[in-house]
Structures are given as C-alpha cells and as structure tokens.
Amino acid sequence: MGFLKNSYLPTLCLLAINLVSGAVVYAQSDPHGLTQASPDLSAYNVIWNEPGSGSADSMPIGNGDVGLNVWTEKNGDLVFYIGKTDAWSENPLGSNGLMKIGRVRVSMSPPWDANSLPFQQVLRLQDASIAIREGDTTLKIWVDANRPVIHVEEQGAHPIALRASLEPWYGETDHVSAMHLAPHTTSTIAWYHRNEAGAVDAVRNLTTGALMEGSGMKAVSDTQLVSTEPSLHQSLSIHTLTETTEKAEGWLAAMDSLKREDDRTAVADAFLAHSQWWSAFWNRSWIVLGGAQDADTVTRGYILQRFVTAAAGRGAYPIKFNGSLFVVDHASETDNPKTHPSHEVSANYRAWGGQYWFQNTRPMYWPRLAAGDFDEMLPLFRMYQREMEQNAPLIESYYGHPGSYLAETAAFYAPIPDLRTKPSGRHTDYYFTPILELSMMMLDYFEYTGDEQFAKKTLIPMASEGLLFFDQHFPRDAAGKLELNNDNSIETFWQVSDPLPDIAGLHAVLARLLALPNGLGSVEQRAQWERLYAALPDLPTGQIDGKKVLLPYTGKQDAPRKNIENPELYAVFPFRLYGVGRPDLRIAEDTFEARKMRFRGCWSQDPVEAAMLGRSDDARKSVSFNLQNVDPRMKFPGFWDRGHDYDPDEDNGGNGELGLQAMLLQNNGREILLLPAWPKDWDARFKLAAPFRTTVEGEVHHGKLVHLTVTPASRRKDVLVNGDKFK
C-alpha cells in the first residue's frame, strides 16, 4: 500500500490529540462501590522470554475503544497495530469492514543484541500495560483508560535514540481506499482514512486517523519521528480520532481543538489515574480456581477473556465476535474452505465481515452482569436502540401495523428487509428472536443496577415495541391464542410454526415486565402486556424414548435442519423458564440429553445450559474446554480458536466465562443460588455481582462453601447453597 500525501492540507500545529468516538465514555465509576482488594493478578500475567516474528505473536491491550496488537520482532523492534471500534471502511459489510487505523514500529539505537542481552515481554494485567525489557532498557506501552491516547515510554541505563515509524498496513487486496498523510510539523506526524466515493451512506465522510508525537523527538518525514538526541527517558504519544466531517480539513480542525484538553494532563498523572481505573475494574469481581490440575489454566482463561473484553468493550460500537479489535495477519485464510481457496490476509481482514449477528454478539455480553462490568453493556444497548427506532417506521410501511424488531444479522445501519418480497426466506430472514433475548438482558441489567432511567428510556421503550410487533404481526387461532406461523426457530429451522425460542421469550419477558415496580410502564402498556400474555400458547413438547421433552417448534418434526443449534433449549437459556430451583427440571434435563447438536467451543451454549440444569460434570468439561481452547496459530493464551467464526473467537471465551459464573452463582427471582453446578475437585475464591445491587464473595473448598460475605447484609437471607439456606 502507498500513502496519499495531502499537500493541499494546512500544516498541523499539534502536540497531542484526544479521541472522539460517538458515545464513548472513558471515566466510569464502579457501580457497586466495592472496597475489598482483588486477588493478586501477577500469577496470571503473560510473560514471554523470546521475541516474536509477526502479529500472530502479539499481546492485546486497550482502553475499551482503542485496542493494540503488540509484539517485539527478532531485531528488538517494538511493533503494534492500532484498532478502533468505529474505524469503519467504505463497506462495513465486507471482510475488511472494520479496519486497523495504523501500524507503528519503534526502533532503538543502539539496537538490542539478541546474542548477549536478555529479553522479556510482560502483559501486566493489574494496570493493563505491556513492559518490554531489552538488556537494561525498558519500554512500557499502555492505552489510557480515561483518555484516548496510546503511550510508549522508554527508560534506560544508557542513552538511547528512538525512531518511530508509521508503516503500510493494507494493500489492494483489502479493497479500501488509500491512507492520507498530512504534512508533518516540526514534532508531529498525522494520517487518516476517509470514506468518500463509493462509501455507503451511513459511513460517507467518516474520517479515522491518528497523530503521533514524542518528547524530545522531531519529525523527519511524513511517516517518521526520531530522537533529537539519545536520552535515558523518552515518551511517545499516539492520539486517534474518528469523526464525520464534510471535508478533511474539518477532521484536522477537530484534532486541533481536542489536543488542548488533552495537554492539560501530564503523562505521569494520566498513568496514575489509568492504574486506578484498572484497579477498580479488577476489584468489581473475580473467580480464582484451585485444586484440580486444570484450575490454573481455566482461571487464566477466565481472567484473560474478561481483560480482552474490557480492552474493546467501551467504544462507540459493540465488540465484534469475529476477532474483536485484535485480528492479525495470516499467511493462509479463507472465508469458506469449500468454496474459496486459501490466500494471505492482512490484519484488516475478518471472516464473516463487519456486520453483527446477534446470536454471535451476545456471548460477550451476558457475562458482564455477574462480572459487574455494566459499563461495557451500554454500547450494545445503544446500537440496538438506534436500530429499533430506525425499523419501526419501516414495519408500519411494510405491514401496516406498529411495533419493531431487530434483524438477527445486519450492519449497524442496515434496515430490516421487506419480507413481502421474500416469501421463501433464507437463513435469518424470519428470525425474530433477538429483541426478546435483548429484552431479557435489559431486564437483568435493570435488576442488577436498579437504574430507573435506563428502565424508562431504554428497556421499556425497546421491549414494548418488540412485544407490539409480535402482538400485531401474528394472527390468533379460534381460541384466541397467538399463532406464530412462518417464523424461524432461530437459524436452525426456517419458517415453522410456534417456534419454542419465541414462545419461551414471550413468556419470560412478559412475566418480568408485568412484575416491574409501579411507575415503570404506562397503564396502556401494561394492559397490552396482559392481553398478549393471556394469548400466549404453551411451549411445544413431545416424547422421545418415552420421555417428555421440549421441541423446537410445534407439529410434525420434519423441517430440514439448517444449522447446528438446539433451539428447544432456549427455554433453559437465555429465557430461564427451566433450571435449578424451577419447576419441571426433569423435562429440561431429558431435553438436554436428547439434544441433536453436541459440540464444544465457539457459540455452543452447552456450558451455560449444563450449568443452569445443575449438571456439574457436563458444565465443567465444556467450560474447561472453552477457557483453554487457544488458537494454535497464535501465541497469546487468550486468543481463542476460530471455531465456526474467526480468530480470536470472542464467542468461545464469552461462553466459557458465562458457564463458569453460572456454575458458581445463579438467581431465581430474589433467591441467590450458590454452587448449583459446582464440581467437588475445584476449589474457588470468588466475588460476583447478583441482582438488586448485591455482591457475593465466597470461598469453596472440596465442594463446600466455607466463607460467605453478602453485600448488603440484608440479602444474606436470600442465599441458598445446594438448595438449602446457608448457615
């Protein structure tokens, strides 16, 4: 790839720039006010004693919106890719829809001598930084948790000269327009990508880029900074910005105004506040296992998945399941090995592209509840609320009735299709379940946080519109019951009758909405909920081997299976009509035993379903697999195998997180169920969030709870351990 030099652009007179990115919120107080110290994380730091050879040998760090892949090459050069949650290319749907915004190389002179000087690279989880020691020189890399700035700090026993270079990071095969270089100033270089001709309307004029400057450094070209003289201590700062502007000059002007605010904070002060943010983050919750042979690696997998999610989870858009911000270069890759030959791909590529599949996006977000990471859920809710509002007038236009729903598969801006033009739908065309599952998640968010403004402005408007769609879109039978005809049972059975996921979702969501405190939901809304609730059909059931089981849809079970899912188990999760402490557990257990699709990793729900049913052995096997399922092509032990998605696969890690949490703690209304699916050979120390602004801290030894602290103490009476009150 070449760079486009913008000689017509005004010279930049900048030192440092903040990031602007839609609804990004950097500062976030701890919602529980937790004060107890978290466990020592140093045992789970990732330590490498040899440099790597490319981005597949990288470590991730990030601040929730800006994420880096960081590695050190054989010659001692530090290299990193920069990713950003809103760095959309001209075609967000494409395999290069969410691209990197830079590749930076930092070289030292004199260079590291691999033959005589020691090397170590450490991901320090406690403060989310990477420390690289080459001989007696140390580099520290971190992305400010409270500001949109990447910092590289050098400290040495002898004077060192640095060279920081912007390198090409995509080419013609990436199918995006060239990067623009702004003319360098005395001490800064800047670059950006701009969506212009050929871009879809939603991202036209979107401009994303960065500015790099350093203390004691000067620009020698539009792509390089060098030390003015060798020094014992130097620092480099890179600042990124995404903004939609009519012209490129508008983006440059925005950078100029933003840097003034950023300049007010010294690097040392910024790192102190950054470290405090991460300390509070780790103090929200934890799970540390002991006892069995796999305990340490499962613990590490859980901690690293939570870290990777936090590194990309507070941006303008939700986390991409197919690689998050941390996709890497691969020498051989293909979208589909049956139809596409393998080819080399860059770190801008991801199989399954830039659009969102709700089924694949949810696994990273359900675990945020018990982890207490509520701030990371807001980008998901914001994006889907915009889509619900966008889709409502389309539904009125297409079908002549009110209501709204979410397309299971869509870009963040894409409208729902007019199904009148697609009477024989394919894949996710007639898949209406996401608004029901999202409503369930939002109801949980409200129960955990008690945020009434969220309930009034987000939960109730979205859930009500979704329920109104089901109420108005589907007919009633002769008995007045809702008939869900021509409706997918998720992506597995297309256009069937009374699919279990939707019926279970309607039962679960309506019951919980009707139980909300007075004042949440208007009189008219509650009346509509009650009418719809009374019209719901029963869940489809049948017999398999003489046992009553749940079925994926009503009627003869002869619809072709189109995917490898178990829709009948949506009654267990996410809709939780069956499970430990709930009626008819045997029916759900027999359904689980009879399930057709059995596989581990990726988006399989086996970990949480087994845990919800109290099946400790099954849950433990699935969770242990997921949280050790490292991609063999990658060095970092929290980059998961691609499975059916792409690497690093965030579905795999999210489902492992959720399963482990559910083995320790579940809730049934106000009841807190501890150890509902806990194996006796795993010891544990844990601190998790529970509904009604509750935290539960405990210790498990040989399968028994030996310590318990519940905050507030009044909630201790609601705790059940293996079905009994804790004494």
Q: Residue 156's beta-bridge partner residues?
A: 137
Q: Which residue has the tokens 């990115």?
A: 21
In this prediction, residues 602-627 reach a mean pLDDT of: 97
**From residue 1, how far is each of 173, 198, 588 by CA, in Å?**
10, 19, 56
Name which of 33, 384, 14, 333 is nearest 190 in CA terms: 14
Q: Residue 673's beta-bridge partner residues?
A: 666, 720
Asked if 380 and 454 touch (Cβ cutoff 8 Å), the reply is: no
Percent of the chain with pLDDT over 70: 94
Total residues belonging to the chain: 727
Q: Tell me the three state secondary structure of residue 12.
A: coil
* pLDDT band, residue 337 (cuts 50/70/90): low
Q: Residue 42's beta-bridge partner residues?
A: none
Q: Tell me the three state secondary structure of residue 234.
A: strand
Q: Which residue has the tokens 């003489």?
A: 546
Asked if 227 and 162 touch (Cβ cutoff 8 Å), the reply is: yes
Q: Tell me the three state secondary structure of residue 720.
A: strand
What's the pLDDT tens digit per position in 127-142? 999 999 999 999 999 9
- Does an H or E element contain 85, and which? strand 78-88
- Mean pLDDT (the chain) is 92
Asked if 553 and 568 touch (Cβ cutoff 8 Å), the reply is: no
**Is the predicted pLDDT of residue 27 greater than 70, yes or no?**
no
- Residue 114 has a pLDDT of 78
Joined tokens for residue 30: 């701890």
CA 107 distance to own-chain centroid: 33
* pLDDT band, residue 37 (cuts 50/70/90): low
In this prediction, residues 649-677 reach a mean pLDDT of: 97
Name which of 505, 498, 457 is nearest 477 in CA terms: 498
Of the listed ranges 349-353, 395-399, 472-476, 503-507, the least confidently predicted one is 349-353
**Is the predicted pLDDT of residue 24 greater than 90, yes or no?**
no
**248 CB contacts (<8 Å, ≥6 apart)?**
6, 9, 180, 192, 194, 207
Name which of 30, 41, 33, 67 is nearest 281 in CA terms: 30
Q: Which residue has the tokens 């024989």?
A: 424
Joined tokens for residue 160: 């060192």
**Is the predicted pLDDT of residue 146 greater than 50, yes or no?**
yes
**Is the predicted pLDDT of residue 336 greater than 90, yes or no?**
no
Please tell me the distance from the alpha carbon of residue 305 to that of residue 656, in angstroms, as a whole number.
9
Q: Which residue has the tokens 């083995």?
A: 663
- Residue 723 has a pLDDT of 76
DSSP states along 159-226: EEEEEEEEE----GGG--PPEEEEPP-SSEEEEEEE--TT--GGGTTEEEEEEEEETTEEEEETTEEE
**Is the predicted pLDDT of residue 179 greater than 70, yes or no?**
yes
Joined tokens for residue 595: 């399930």
**Is the predicted pLDDT of residue 548 greater than 70, yes or no?**
yes
CA triple 710-27-101, angle to 5 deg:
125
- Residue 12 has a pLDDT of 30
What's the pLDDT tens digit per position in 471-499? 999 999 999 999 999 999 999 999 999 99
In this prediction, residues 280-299 reach a mean pLDDT of: 97
**Is the predicted pLDDT of residue 106 greater than 50, yes or no?**
yes
Please tell me the distance from the alpha carbon of residue 606 to that of residue 573, in angstroms, as a whole number.
10
DSSP state, residue 400? S
Please tell me the distance from the alpha carbon of residue 609 to that of residue 622, in angstroms, as a whole number.
10
Please give the backbone phi and psi of residue 258, each rounded to the nearest 5 degrees, phi first.
-70, -30
Q: Which amino acid is at 82?
A: I
**From residue 518, how far is each of 60, 336, 671 by CA, in Å?**
46, 52, 22
DSSP state, residue 292? S
Indicate the pairing of strand 179-182 with strand 3-5: parallel
In this prediction, residues 47-54 reach a mean pLDDT of: 96
In this prediction, residues 264-291 reach a mean pLDDT of: 96
- 648: cis peptide before it, omega within 30°? yes
Q: Which residue has the tokens 């397309």?
A: 407
The residue that leads in pLDDT, 377 or 114, is: 377
**From residue 192, how far is each of 98, 432, 448, 465 by CA, in Å?**
14, 39, 41, 40
Indicate the pairing of strand 137-143 with strand 179-182: unpaired
Of the listed ranges 4-18, 56-70, 374-388, the least confidently predicted one is 4-18
**From residue 328, how far is each of 29, 90, 295 by CA, in Å?**
33, 20, 29
Of the listed ranges 163-172, 206-215, 291-300, 603-612, the least confidently predicted one is 163-172
DSSP state, residue 649? B
- 712: cis peptide before it, omega within 30°? yes
Asked if 638 and 299 touch (Cβ cutoff 8 Å), the reply is: no
Please tell me the distance from the alpha carbon of residue 463 to that of residue 443, in angstroms, as a whole number.
9
Q: Which residue has the tokens 């894409």?
A: 414
- Does an H or E element contain 695, and which? strand 694-701
DSSP state, residue 111? P
State the maximum Cα–Cα separation within the chain, in Å, rounded to a whole number.
87
Q: Which domains does the chain have, with CATH numbers?
A: 3-27+44-284 (2.70.98.50), 367-543+552-573 (1.50.10.10)
* pLDDT band, residue 25 (cuts 50/70/90): very low
N-to-C CA span, the chain = 67
Dihedral sign computed on CA atoms, order 169, 172, 177, 178: positive
Asked if 573 and 604 touch (Cβ cutoff 8 Å), the reply is: no
